[in-house]
Amino acid sequence: MEATLLQPFLEKKHDESRQGEAFAPFQEDPIPYKKHFYIESYGCQMNFADSEIVASILKEAGFGATRNIEIADLILLNTCSIREKAEQTVRKRLTEFKKLKKAKPSTLVGVLGCMAARLKSRFLEEEKLVDLVVGPDAYRTLPQLISEADGGQRSVNVLLSREETYADIAPVRLNSNGISGFVSIMRGCNNMCSFCVVPFTRGRERSRAPQSIYDECQDLFREGFKEVTLLGQNVDSYHWMPDLSIEEKTGITKDHYNRQPVNFAQLLEIVALISPELRVRFSTSHPKDITDAVLHTIARHENICKYIHLPLQSGSTRVLQLMNRSYTREWYMAKVERIRELIPECGISSDIIAGFCTETEEEHQDTLSMMSLAKFDLSYMFFYSERPGTLAQRRYEDDIPLAVKKRRLQEIVDLQGRLSHESNKRDLGKSFKVLIEGNSKKSDQQWMGRTSQNKVIVFPKNEQQLQPGDYAWVQVKECTQATLIGSIL
């Protein structure tokens, strides 16, 4: 999953500087569990969704979730490995558990996610207080590994799977606002972008059975959620094929939506038809795979949000080839124009990497000019961080000096700031259907919500008895670079 977006949930995107988010159940669990786990998640939304799967598996195994790390019997870090800084954040956090373990030696510490999958048993050698190292496809084995560790045997399971999608596990919603829920539709990635660790830490692509996705989205809607975000590293390559070999094992193709092959456009429609009241978002798209069928489906359904996160990474075709992104500058621009042709009001955001191996000053200018051409509403921007074991690390020298990387990144960030502000200014006077998510951070006299284009908008409460989860039509009166400011119509 390219780095990814959407204030506020975008903030979750690979924000390695961000403190891990401690979880507590959406509603405090009434059941008095004998044992408790405490979990912090780092990195992308996929990791946060995985933590909800982990919570479900642990609940089944008799663990209750707690926000209070002092009382936890099991402390888990669900880690990110997308950049060096993300791993440094985790190592620093682990040092803070020394005191806790000293005070309560029976406490187990486990690391999950991409850093666990990348380091494997080395993690146990390098971090003495870690008892469990569990990769993204091995969470079902957690209860067994915990009992082994309880017995004093520190354990590792980072096996990758070609089938595992956790489709039959109902996530325990953690830290949710009860309005927006995340539903993973596939795992792994078959693209081998040369800078990326994901194919090595999350394995080959596999698509989850559409019936289980439909059921989970419908359950969320019945629970009062008004928005679902379908998650995948590259949602455009979602492809369900009824597989008779699985049929014998699981009877999975008996279910209505599992009987036919289903691609991403069809899956979007299946979920959109649950209810016009349910908003549908998705992340992340890939420029080489996004189809007209997906764009027509978005245009056909009012409740599929008019917003696409389409990572560019670089504006130079030569650098894109080194990155093994499988598209050119011209191809990318043609996709942006096609999106705007079929969905004129569509919001587009992106990811940009500054200072990739051998990038010239001219090619950096290509990235800046491409951003201006595409008029991104928002982007996630980083400088290149060499990752061990990736194609780029094995083939290319990380030859751009750090000072140059930082200067180029700053130019990209400054440009994006102007583009975001100009994009918000283009919305002045327009009215949007907004899903209310809660109070604005600044005042409880104001609502905060998002437009279909995924822009954050704040507006004063009025006499209408609105609640989080309600829709309201709001006219934009003012704006900042990051926020629209309006009033209810």
Binding residues for ligand SF4, rule: CB under 6 A, are: 1-2, 189, 191, 193, 196, 198-199, 233-234, 286
Provide, rounded to whole angstroms, the least separation between the CB of residue 351 and ligand SF4.
8
Provide, rounded to whole angstroms, the least separation between the CB of residue 379 and ligand SF4.
15
The stretches of 273-360 forming alpha helices (DSSP H) are: 292-300, 317-322, 329-342
What is the C-alpha to C-alpha distance for residues 240 and 292, in angstroms, rounded to an integer? 19
70, 76 contact by CB (below 8 A):
no
C-beta neighbour count of 445 within 10 angstroms: 9
Provide, rounded to whole angstroms, the least separation between the CB of residue 393 and ligand SF4.
14
What is the C-alpha to C-alpha distance for residues 244 and 256, in angstroms, rounded to an integer? 15
Query: Which of residues 114 and 298 has its CB atom nearest to ligand SF4 in the complex?
Result: 114
Query: Which of residues 234 and 283 has its CB atom nearest to ligand SF4 in the complex?
Result: 234
For 34-50, the three-class secondary structure string (H helix, E strand, C coil) is: CEEEEEEECCCHHHHHH
Query: Which of residues 180 and 237 has its CB atom nearest to ligand SF4 in the complex?
Result: 237
Q: DSSP 3-state assignment of 223?
A: coil
What is the C-alpha to C-alpha distance for residues 189 and 198, in angstroms, rounded to an integer? 7
Query: Which of residues 288 and 318 has its CB atom nearest to ligand SF4 in the complex?
Result: 288
Residue reference for tokens 């002092």: 70
Query: Which of residues 191 and 258 has its CB atom nearest to ligand SF4 in the complex?
Result: 191
C-beta neighbour count of 155 within 10 angstroms: 20
Query: Which of residues 200 and 447 has its CB atom nearest to ligand SF4 in the complex?
Result: 200
DSSP H or E stretch at residue 380: strand 378-383
DSSP H or E stretch at residue 102: helix 98-103
Provide, rounded to whole angstroms, the least separation between the CB of residue 305 and ligand SF4.
21
What is the C-alpha to C-alpha distance for residues 183 and 232, in angstroms, rounded to an integer? 9
Q: Give me the residues paired with residue 113 across strands.
A: 79
Give the amino acid at 412: I
Tokens of 123: 């993690």
Q: DSSP 3-state assignment of 118?
A: helix
Query: Which of residues 194 and 212 has its CB atom nearest to ligand SF4 in the complex?
Result: 194
Provide, rounded to whole angstroms, the least separation between the CB of residue 114 and ligand SF4.
10
Provide, rounded to whole angstroms, the least separation between the CB of residue 189 and ligand SF4.
3
Provide, rounded to whole angstroms, the least separation between the CB of residue 194 and ligand SF4.
9
What is the C-alpha to C-alpha distance for residues 214 and 269, in angstroms, rounded to an integer? 10
Query: Which of residues 197 and 228 has its CB atom nearest to ligand SF4 in the complex?
Result: 197
Query: Which of residues 176 and 234 has its CB atom nearest to ligand SF4 in the complex?
Result: 234
What distances in angstroms separate CA 43 from CA 2, 162, 172, 378, 471, one per listed residue?
Answer: 11, 23, 19, 18, 30
Query: Which of residues 110 and 199 has its CB atom nearest to ligand SF4 in the complex?
Result: 199
Q: Give me the residues paired with residue 86 across strands.
A: none
Provide, rounded to whole angstroms, the least separation between the CB of residue 62 and ligand SF4.
35
Provide, rounded to whole angstroms, the least separation between the CB of residue 47 and ligand SF4.
12
C-beta neighbour count of 61 within 10 angstroms: 15
Q: DSSP 3-state assignment of 319?
A: helix
Provide, rounded to whole angstroms, the least separation between the CB of residue 234 and ligand SF4.
5
